[in-house]
Amino acid sequence: MIGWKKTARHCAAVALAAVGLVTGPVSAQTQTKIGFNVPLTGFAAADGASALNGAKLAIAQANANGGLGGKPIELVVYDDQGIAKEAVPAVTKMIEKDGVVVGVSGSYSGSTRAAASIFQTAKIPYVTAYAIHPEITLAGDFMFRVSAMGEVQGRAGAKLVNDLGKKKVVIVTIKNDFGQALAAGFKEAAVKFGLTIQNEYEYGLPDRQFGPIASKIKADNPDIIYASGYFYTAGPLVSQLRSAGITAPIIGQEGYDSDKFIEIAGAASEGVYVTTSLDRDSDAAATKSFLTEYKKATNAGPDMVAASSYTAVAVAIEGLKKTGGKGGDALRDAIAGLTYDSPIGKLSFNDLHEVAKDVQVQIVKDKAFRRHSVISDPVLLAPPTKKK
C-alpha cells in the first residue's frame, strides 16, 4: 500500500517536472524578462521601495511605447533584503527559473557584489543602479554601473570643501562598503587640496544616537564636517550635531538624497550640502521629464535611488531594443556601446563599464533640495578603467 502511494507520488512529481520543462522556456520566449533584485524588507526597505518605483516607471514607459517588438517587457522582482546571503538565491532563481535576459540591481553594495559574480558566470548582463563598491564591475565584462563610484564621490566631496574655502575637516564615516569607499576617495583628494583632517569617527548602520560623537566634534571645532550615511542615519546625526551647538557646514552624499532626510532632521537640515547624481533644478529634458513623471506615478518626491534605478532599467531596455530582445554577448556589446540621456546625466560606459559624469551638489533650502553647484572635473572625477 505504502509502495503504491510512493510510486503515485513519484509519477506526479515527474509529471509536474515535465510540465515545468515545457512551460518554462515557452513563457520565457513570449515575454522579455528583466530581473530586479531590491531590498523590499529589512533595514534598507525604504530605499528598496523607491528603487522599485523607479524601475516600474521605466518599464511602464517602455511598455506604453510598444514594449519590445510589440510585446510588453516584464520586470521580475526579488527581495534581497540588502544582504548577500539573500541575494544569492534570489538572483539564482531569476536566472534559472524565470529566465531573465538581463539583470538590474536596485540594491546596496553587499547584495549586489554577491549577485554580480552569479550574473557574470551565467553570461547575463547586470546593470547596477546605485551600489557603489568598486568590486562590482571588477566581477567581469557583463557588469555595468550607471552611478559614480564611492571613491569618485568622495573625491568630489573634497573638492567641494576646497571650493567652499574650508580647510579643517572632521570625517564621520558609516562603517560599511558605502562609507569606506567615500572616506577613501575623500582622503585621497584631501591631500591634493591641502585639507587637514582633524579626526575621523566611525559608526555602525544601526546607530541613531550620536551624542558622544557630537560632543567630541564640538571640541574639535572643525571648519566643515564630511559625514557619510543614509537618510535614516543622517537625519538623526545632523539633528544631533546641531543640537550640540555645532554650526560648521555639513556635507553629505547621495545616501542623504531623500525628502525623508529633510523630514527627520527638520530645521537642522537647512544648509546641508549633498553630493549626488540627481539635480532637482536641472534644465535637461530627461531629468525634468523624470521628475514630473515620477511624481505623477507615485505621488512621492523623487530621490537619487529612484532616479538611478529608473536609469539602470532604462539602459537595459535600450540595449534590448538594439538586439531585438536577444541577451548574452550581443546585449553586453549593445549596452557597452550606448550613449544614453538619463535623469542622472548623459551616460556612456568606459572599458570597465563605469560612467564618467559630473557630480551634482544640492543644498537644502526651505525644506527642499536645490541646486548649489555642479562639480565638473574630468580628471578628478575619472572612474577607474580596466587594469591592462
Q: Which chain residues interact with another protein by CB under 8 A?
A: 40-43, 45-46, 48-49, 175, 200-204, 206-209, 211-216, 218-219, 232, 235-236, 239-240, 243-245, 258, 260, 263-266
Q: Which is nearer to another protein, 146 or 265 (CB)?
A: 265
Q: Give the CA diameter of the chain.
A: 86
- Residue 205: CB minimum distance to another protein, A: 10
| SS3 letters across 250-265 | EEECHHHCCHHHHHHH
Q: Which is nearer to another protein, 9 or 367 (CB)?
A: 367
Q: Which is nearer to another protein, 49 or 87 (CB)?
A: 49
Q: Which is nearer to another protein, 299 or 339 (CB)?
A: 299
Nearest-angstrom CA–CA distance, 247 and 225: 10
Q: Which is nearer to another protein, 173 or 342 (CB)?
A: 173
Q: Which is nearer to another protein, 78 or 232 (CB)?
A: 232
Q: Which is nearer to another protein, 142 or 230 (CB)?
A: 230
- Residue 43: CB minimum distance to another protein, A: 5
- Residue 173: CB minimum distance to another protein, A: 9
- Residue 202: CB minimum distance to another protein, A: 5
- Residue 209: CB minimum distance to another protein, A: 6
- Residue 186: CB minimum distance to another protein, A: 16
